[in-house]
Homo-oligomer: A and B are copies of this chain.
Amino acid sequence: MTLTIYGDRISGNCLKVKWVADRVGMPWRWVDVDVLKGETRTPDFLRLNPAGQVPLVVLEDGRTLAQSNAIMLYLAEGSDLIPADAFDRARMFEWMFWEQYTHEPAIAVRRFHKAYLNKPDDEIDPALMVRGRAALARMQAALSAPGCAGWLAGDRASLADLALVAYTRVAHEGGFDLAEYPAVQAWVARVEATLPVRDFDRS
């Protein structure tokens, strides 16, 4: 089957879906939806996803799925991106929910305000920097803890790493300095090396 991905190329949440589809060999076609132009709020798009968010995927039978991490779980089922060990899998879920609850609402949102809405720093809610730095510090602690194999859950790259790298790798666009978090910086490079690199241009 071919997956149809409605997404915005500036969105880490949308790239997650592309990465997993490429990694598991699922063909896809990409439909650009421009968040800045309000294209996630049109009546046509809201019929596809009442939550008004990208990414949104349409399966070949017409059924739709939303929420980046839920789509990743659907696509990755049976692959080594989901740990076989029950506890490692639980840890993967823990990081994925933390990503959406704590990391993304600080780091991705600050990046969007700074790099895409072009707001000056003093017009951006200062809590976003505080929370984003706390999130990066938590990742630094986890990735430099004794016994950490270099990945967030288990001993290889999992969906937890893909979910969290999506906005961590562009955190500098939100004004965060990854050099302060060296274990995170090394982990970003490590995860990026596992990512498929099919260009949009070849799609």
Residues of A within 8 A of B (CB-CB), count: 32
Q: In the complex, which residues of chain B have a beta carbon less than 8 angstroms from the beta carbon of A190?
A: none
**In the assembled complex, how far is the CB of residue A139 from the closest CB belonging to chain B, in whole angstroms?**
10
Q: In the complex, which residues of chain B have a beta carbon less than 8 angstroms from the beta carbon of A94?
A: 65-67, 70-71
Q: In the complex, which residues of chain B have a beta carbon less than 8 angstroms from the beta carbon of A138?
A: 50-51
Q: A50-B141, A51-B138 given as contacts; is B90 within 8 A of A73 (CB)?
A: yes
**In the assembled complex, how far is the CB of residue A103 from the closest CB belonging to chain B, in whole angstroms?**
10
Q: Is A102 an interface residue (CB 8 A)?
A: yes
**In the assembled complex, how far is the CB of residue A52 from the closest CB belonging to chain B, in whole angstroms?**
9
* B-facing residues in A29-73 (Cβ within 8 Å): 50-51, 59, 63, 65-71, 73
- Among B69, B98, B141, the residue within 8 A (CB) of A93 is B69
Residue of B nearest to A78 (CB): B86
Asked if B67 contacts A97 (CB within 8 A), the reply is yes
Give Cα A93 to B67, complex, Å.
Answer: 8
Q: Is A116 an interface residue (CB 8 A)?
A: no
| Binding site secondary structure of chain A | helix
Give Cα A165 to B59, complex, Å.
Answer: 28
Q: In the complex, which residues of chain B have a beta carbon less than 8 angstroms from the beta carbon of A23?
A: none
Q: A87-B63, A102-B51 given as contacts; is B77 within 8 A of A93 (CB)?
A: no
Give Cα A51 to B99, complex, Å.
Answer: 11
Q: In the complex, which residues of chain B have a beta carbon less than 8 angstroms from the beta carbon of A144?
A: none
* Interface set of A (CB-CB < 8 Å, partner B): 50-51, 59, 63, 65-71, 73-74, 77, 86-87, 89-91, 93-94, 96-98, 100-102, 104-105, 138, 141-142
Closest 3 CB pairs of A and B: A70-B93, A74-B90, A70-B94
